[in-house]
Structure 1
Amino acid sequence: MKNTVVCTVILGALASGFGASSARAQGCLAAHTNSNMQSCITSNGHDMPQSTSAFLRHHPLTVEVDWRSFSSFRHFSGTVENTSRQVNGNFIPNHQNLYNISMDLQVSPRWSVNTFVPVLQGTRDQKYAPVQKVEIAGIGDMIVGVQGWVWRPPTEAGGNIAFSAGLKLPTGINNGMGTGRLANGTVQKVVADQSLQPGDGTWGFTLGSQAYKQTYFHTVGYFQGSWLFSPVDTTGVPTFRTAKGEGVMSATDQYIFRAGLSRHVPHVYGLAAAFGGRMEGIPVRDAFGKSDGFRRPGYIISVEPALQYQYRRSMISLSAPWAVQRNRRASVTDLANHTHGDAAFADYAVILGVAHTF
């Protein structure tokens, strides 16, 4: 067989289509899902079946588990880092582990149905607050949806584009009580910061697209983009903030865009390397509905090297998005109050994914 372009249609809690929109930004921006690194890769052809339709009939289900870990500690207002917070020791360390379980059922060569279940575990050291260290863990908002390719795979042109739509279910914990520790060591339950809430507990929907095209030297160009729409104004969960309009948490839209190049590593069976860029974040104003309440809008732009290894019906992927620009934009309440809050961002994240087709 000739070199064949294989495009994995699994996403990590908002990736391969609708998944990507719920990507979690590397910091206090309250996006609550993952985006896996299973993008389009170049295969050497040995793992591809002679008949795609026959393969799908016998192996229609793919299950994937993704893990994303990062620690945010650099505070930004706009694109300017507030280095004084590190100097004065009042920066807020925020460490999070985000797990995403996704299932993709291929009902035909063109169409698939998907389910994404995110789980968050995090800690936050609020050095200046009465309750300093807060820990929380729980399930986020699930997404169920469908994805379809424009042309029936595999295409002779070496490229294709898919569109997806999904429904976000209010399964996520949005008023999670974290275990907090006072300065004297006393333990008590407190409402966790918005960045630690596993979900927002509201209905929403996602729209996404992904595409690939084989180019020169057996290199594949890829693109993924997705937007999570949250029409509900606020979650109704108190923030205990005193600034006008910031008494409850906002239900926010979220987005992610990724693009780059991927190529099979010569003479290494099943291994592909990719390099690209990604942008993810939360808008100041949602596309639908109001945008009241407290939110930390902004975005992070990263360069993203990645490796993928495929053996028969299993695949493992590893990537490390490294931030090149961080921007904590002024929120609706910031603009109304003539202020500009900040948010903590990480320098990089580590994303590991494992998938198997049954």
Structure 2
Amino acid sequence: MRQVACRFTLTAVPFPDGNLPAAVAILDHLDTFQEEKKTKIGCFKKTEVINYTSVFNLSLTRILNNRWSVMVDLPISNNVRSSLYEHGLVNGTYVKRERNSTSSFGIGDIRFAAYRWMLDPTKYAKGNLQLGLGIKLPTGDYNYKDYFYNVGPNGTKELRPVDQSIQLGDGGTGFTFEVNTFYNFIENFGVYGNFYYLINPREQNGTRTYRETLASRLANEATMSVPDQYMFRAGFTYSVNQIKGLSVAAGVRLEGIPVNDLVGGSGDFRRPGYIWSVEPSLNYEYKKVIVFASVPFAVVRNRTQSVTDKENSIKTGTHVQGDAAFADYIINIGISTRF
């Protein structure tokens, strides 16, 4: 699964001017899962895929007034993918059983968004609702290539597009919808909620997956899909009175890729599924600087049946469902400053 490209701090109060927040996300320890029974497939066979992903998100927000703000977000990512099957499996048979790695580095898809507090912040300081609309442009390389070993003529290496999970972009012009809300029951205790959805109308981006070389039945997965993405967060926040500027939070987090997009086709290759996580986090504010961190730990992981899986199930007369690699945890670290 691709990482959902959005970041949230715990504070829902707009800055009076503008800010320059930066966030780093590190995904590590990916295990391969299938269906809700949460069976670790690859680990038992030592064939698991291991992705190491570091993402630096650079965002610039401009507060227009106490209700409206605009934002631009640019992700820069470094990815390394270690696997066995991608470096030797040809037409269902291993030419050579050898684990190797592919990598990618560069900017991702840039996003512009506008936000509005639906209630007047001067009158509703205890709670509010913010709506956001944005556009994501295909600035990230969605056909990034690296060498795959033992798959070329006579077992040589061959330059191919890297796996969809470490491509820098998805190749689609997308539209984002966001809802951010908070409510403080008392001065130092409240609740928060965030919802994010990315609509990608484009069905596929033309980048070849080479999955048809793994097995002939995967011919309908030869091209990468451009899927929608979503995220939901909700939880409690508590300001620590003994330490000025420090607040902690605990909540749940849901993120994933749907089987069917809201707009456009949903064919070609994608790994739909979702992750439920428990997310502890903290914020520390000092003068014009806010430092924030969160570490979502996955508790439920489900790789759902894709459109191409269903097509192959009908053709073969047996249930077909691919697997996917999910992160055990994500480390989000960020800093925001006002100018």
> Cα distance 1:234–1:207, how it changes in 2: closer, same or farther (>3 A)?
same
Q: How many residues align?
A: 313
**Code of the aligned partner of 1:307:** L
User: How many Å separate the matches in 2 of 1:30 and 1:66?
Assistant: 17
Higher relative contact order (CA 8 A, sep 6+): 1
8 A Cα contact 1:34 1:99, kept in partner: no
> Cα distance 1:187–1:271, how it changes in 2: closer, same or farther (>3 A)?
farther
* Residue aligning to 2:123: 155
* Residue aligning to 2:31: 74
> Cα distance 1:113–1:34, how it changes in 2: closer, same or farther (>3 A)?
closer
> Cα distance 1:65–1:179, how it changes in 2: closer, same or farther (>3 A)?
farther
Any idea what SS the aligned residue of 1:129 has? Answer: helix
* Residue aligning to 1:290: 265
* Residue aligning to 1:12: none
Unmatched 5+ stretches in structure 1: 1-28, 43-51
**Code of the aligned partner of 2:45:** N
User: How many Å separate the matches in 2 of 1:353 and 1:182?
Assistant: 41
* Residue aligning to 1:271: 246
User: How many Å separate the matches in 1 of 2:21 and 2:54?
Assistant: 16
- Aligned pair 1:31/2:3, yes or no? yes
- Superposed, which structure 2 residues align to 1:1-358 within 5 Å? 29-36=1-8, 38-40=9-11, 56=16, 60-130=17-87, 132-156=100-124, 158-178=126-146, 180=148, 189-216=159-186, 218-242=188-212, 243-338=218-313, 339-358=320-339
Any idea what SS the aligned residue of 2:120 has? Answer: coil
**Code of the aligned partner of 2:178:** G
8 A Cα contact 1:85 1:91, kept in partner: yes
Residues 19-72 of structure 1 deviation map (CA, whole Å, 9 limit, x = unaligned): xxxxxxxxxx12352423x12379xxxxxxxxx9xx83xxx2200110111124
> Cα distance 1:233–1:41, how it changes in 2: closer, same or farther (>3 A)?
closer
User: How many Å separate the matches in 2 of 1:169 and 1:156?
Assistant: 35
TM-score (norm 1): 0.83
Any idea what SS the aligned residue of 1:349 has? Answer: strand
8 A Cα contact 1:194 1:249, kept in partner: yes
Instruction: Point out 4+ residue stretches in structure 1 off by more than 6 angstroms.
Output: none
Residues 246-280 of structure 1 deviation map (CA, whole Å, 9 limit, x = unaligned): 01000010000001111111210110001111100
User: How many Å separate the matches in 2 of 1:188 and 1:89?
Assistant: 24
Residues 217-246 of structure 1 deviation map (CA, whole Å, 9 limit, x = unaligned): 631111110100000111111101110310
> Cα distance 1:145–1:192, how it changes in 2: closer, same or farther (>3 A)?
same
User: How many Å separate the matches in 1 of 2:58 and 2:185?
Assistant: 32
**Code of the aligned partner of 1:70:** L
**Code of the aligned partner of 2:322:** G
Aligned-pair Cα RMSD in Å: 2.0
User: How many Å separate the matches in 1 of 2:157 and 2:287?
Assistant: 49
> Cα distance 1:247–1:320, how it changes in 2: closer, same or farther (>3 A)?
same
* Residue aligning to 1:4: none
**Code of the aligned partner of 2:308:** T
TM-score (norm 2): 0.87
8 A Cα contact 2:281 2:292, kept in partner: yes
8 A Cα contact 2:288 2:337, kept in partner: yes
> Cα distance 1:294–1:84, how it changes in 2: closer, same or farther (>3 A)?
closer
> Cα distance 1:32–1:171, how it changes in 2: closer, same or farther (>3 A)?
farther
Q: Which moved more, 1:323-332 or 1:117-126?
A: 117-126
**Code of the aligned partner of 1:125:** S
8 A Cα contact 2:108 2:141, kept in partner: yes
User: How many Å separate the matches in 1 of 2:310 and 2:172?
Assistant: 25
8 A Cα contact 2:34 2:41, kept in partner: no
User: How many Å separate the matches in 1 of 2:136 and 2:40?
Assistant: 38
User: How many Å separate the matches in 1 of 2:335 and 2:54?
Assistant: 16
**Code of the aligned partner of 1:39:** L
Q: Which moved more, 1:235-244 or 1:128-137?
A: 128-137
**Code of the aligned partner of 1:284:** V
Residues 321-352 of structure 1 deviation map (CA, whole Å, 9 limit, x = unaligned): 01110010010000111110000112111110
Any idea what SS the aligned residue of 1:112 has? Answer: strand
Aligned-pair CA distance for 1:92: 0.9
